[in-house]
Each structure stands twice: as C-alpha cells, then as structure tokens.
A and B are shown apart, each in its own frame.
Chain A
C-alpha cells in the first residue's frame, strides 16, 4: 500500500511570495490533515478534511492560508503572501478513522 505522497519536498521563496503544497493521501482514507511543524516543536494542526468537507480549520491563519480538497482525494495548501514565520515543515496525514499516517513533508524556507 502506497503511503501519503507530498510535493514538492523543498521550497525556498521570498517573503510576500505565494506557494502551494500538494498532498495525495493513502487510498481509501477519507480524513486528511495538514499540520505545520516548526523546527524543534511537535506538529500543529492547520486544517482537517473529512472527504471534501472542512471539519476543523480553527487554527488556520485564514488571512494568508487556504486549503482545498475538491474531489475528496488529494489536497492543496496555499500560502499567500508568505511571512518569515511561515518557515516550517508542512506535513500531510491521512486516516480511515483510526491511526494517522504522515507523508514526508514539504520543507519551506521563507527568506
């Protein structure tokens, strides 16, 4: 069974630019999560989808972050405009109602 796929793996941008990350969850997993992991900390939830509906986006900075999962499978997370403090690893995870499985993450550096 293929794991959670994410791309790109690395991204370097300048502040105020925009960036997008892509995630393809494990086949059959209805729940998809985006987490932000700042260096030296544990992952923190940004947004949770159940199929193509948003379950929890209470910690998503909606003035600059957006996410969608239009067909209930893969998902895109966008940051526009990026700030220096957005430098982090963006992790995608999926589950079928139990354990959550993480992808390798996208490492973002904002200069």
Chain B
C-alpha cells in the first residue's frame, strides 16, 4: 500500500520559473515531512523538512507548503536553475516514534536554459 503519492512524475521548467511538486499522504500519524534531492549516481540529500504544526517553511529558493486538513504538502522551487535538474522525493515518517521514511515515487525535474 503506497502511503505517499507524489506528482507529477516528470516536470520541465524554464530557467527562472517556479517548479511545483505535490505530495499527498494517508496516515494521519505522520509528523515529519522532508524533501530530498537526488542527482544521478548519488544518494538522496535532505533539502528541507516541515512538521505539521506550521503551514509553510522557506529556505532560500525552496519552500514547503503544508495543508494538514487535506493531508497534502508541496515543494516550490523559485527562480529554478539548470543546476536544480534532479529527482526530488517527498517522504513522511512518524518521527517522534523514530520510524523510517516512506518515500514517494519521485519527480524528475529538468530546468531548461
């Protein structure tokens, strides 16, 4: 049973544009929602994370928006750059309970110059 659904599967954005990736979860016990960035041949790297007591978190050009009632969260990449071209994964866990991450299937982002 897939507990974290991610869309779109792939995304093409012009340089300077906004990239938006969406995720939906099912388990209301999840309390930690990170986003990871993965380049080919590398391990996933933590980008930004949010807990359900806030609706938005911003770090540089990256913003997570969180909608607890809809059980959805999204990643916005402002001023997208060619160097942002990578695969992005959303994930969720019951962090207080120390459980492992449940990942979405990933979104391949390509930023064209």
Which A residues form the contact surface with B (CB < 8 A)?
A: 4, 31, 33, 35, 40-45, 48, 50, 55-56, 91, 93, 97-105, 107
Please state if A103 and B100 are interface contacts (CB–CB under 8 Å): no
Q: What is the bound-complex CA distance between A36 and B106, given in angstroms?
A: 14
Which B residues form the contact surface with A (CB < 8 A)?
A: 4, 6, 34, 36, 41-46, 49, 89, 91, 95, 98-101, 103-106
If A43-B101, A48-B100 touch, whether A102 touches B106 (CB-CB below 8 Å) is no
Residue from the list A42, A50, A99, A101 in contact with B89, Cβ < 8 A: A42
**14 cross-chain CB contacts under 8 A:** A31-B98, A42-B91, A42-B104, A43-B44, A43-B103, A45-B100, A55-B98, A97-B98, A99-B34, A99-B46, A100-B101, A101-B46, A102-B45, A104-B43
What residue in chain B is nearest A10 (Cβ atoms)?
B41
Q: What is the bound-complex CA distance between A69 and B44, given in angstroms?
A: 22
Please state if B43 and A42 are interface contacts (CB–CB under 8 Å): no
Q: What is the bound-complex CA distance between A35 and B100, given in angstroms?
A: 9
Please state if B95 and A33 are interface contacts (CB–CB under 8 Å): no
